[in-house]
Structure 1
Amino acid sequence: MALKQIVAAAILDSLEQPTKLLSARRTAPEAMAGLWEFPGGKLEPGEGCREAVHREILEELGVKVRLGSEVFGPLEQGWALNEHAAMRVWFAEITDGTPQALEDHDLLEWVDLDAPALESLAWIPADLPIVHAVLADVEAGATR
């Protein structure tokens, strides 16, 4: 059985010289309320992954983004979220608009791209390995 495909963006202040990551605090479901995540969501029927990232970020944050490289996970479908879903994540940079917590979030925060700053947030457990991969890719210069 295929996992449900989820997509998300690791939004950086710059794809070329990143120093900060935009994190989003969830409001629902109750089990995840108050935890931090990468903004994104489910694919709609007939939609491609990259197309879904653009749509989800516009719906959730009200901004347009330019996608960089993918933050590759250990699975073909990206990163396991649970036994039913996996998430593919792309680096992104805002090209139009100012991010706002419009849907599913109550707070957005630009966090320094270093382990102590990022690990100080209460991330959704499935997102924490992705945080570490983001840091490794940024350090390797693999964001574009």
Structure 2
Amino acid sequence: MTRRIVVVGAALLDGGRLLAARRSAPEELAGRWELPGGKVEPGEAPEAALVRELREELGVETEAVARVPGSWPLRPPYELHVWTARLLPGSADPAPLQDHDALRWLAPADVWEVPWLDQDVPAVRAALSLLGDGFRSAPGG
């Protein structure tokens, strides 16, 4: 049996908005949007990986708030797990430092205006279902 490698994604919230990140690489994913995050290293807690990845990719200090129920298959052997997260007081504004070329804070009405990666759509839908009435208007959800 192949060991699954967990990739953590952040439903990063600030001021009632969700942060989306546009991929710049690899080429087959470039131009599509995702929840920022990355791989959990061996021996690392998923919440710690999320905080580390957001620091490396976006230059921000965050904390994981709550695990979004569910997991979503990515390219084998990867599997996506998502947490809601928040910026810590005094954190820098997010900036695309690696793997992304643009960031966008999305209000509830704007969440589905960006072309999300196919594998992120169900994860985004699940994360938004936890966030209140303003985020419940997901297509197909």
TM-score, normalised on structure 2? 0.87
Structure 1 segment 1-144 matched on structure 2, within 5 A? 1-14=2-15, 19-73=16-70, 78-95=71-88, 96-114=91-109, 117-139=110-132
Q: After superposition, what is the alpha-carbon deviation per residue over 1:84-135, rounded to whole angstroms, capped at 9, x for unaligned? A: 2101111111111110000100000000124xx2111110000001111122
Q: State the secondary structure of the residue aligned to 2:55.
A: helix
- What is the RMSD of the two structures over their aligned residues, measured on CA atoms? 1.6
Question: AA paired with 1:49?
Answer: P
Q: Which runs of 5+ in 2 are unaligned?
A: 134-141
Identical counterparts, % of pairs: 41
Note if contact 1:60-1:104 (Cα within 8 Å) is conserved in structure 2.
yes
Q: State the secondary structure of the residue aligned to 1:12.
A: strand
**Whole-Å separation in 2 of the counterparts to 1:88 and 1:102:** 22
**Whole-Å separation in 1 of the counterparts to 2:9 and 2:43:** 17
1:54 Cα shift? 0.7
Question: AA paired with 1:108?
Answer: L
Note if contact 1:26-1:32 (Cα within 8 Å) is conserved in structure 2.
yes
**Whole-Å separation in 1 of the counterparts to 2:28 and 2:123:** 20
Note if contact 2:82-2:127 (Cα within 8 Å) is conserved in structure 1.
no
Note if contact 1:82-1:126 (Cα within 8 Å) is conserved in structure 2.
no
Structure 1 runs of 4+ with >2 Å offset: none
Note if contact 1:118-1:131 (Cα within 8 Å) is conserved in structure 2.
no
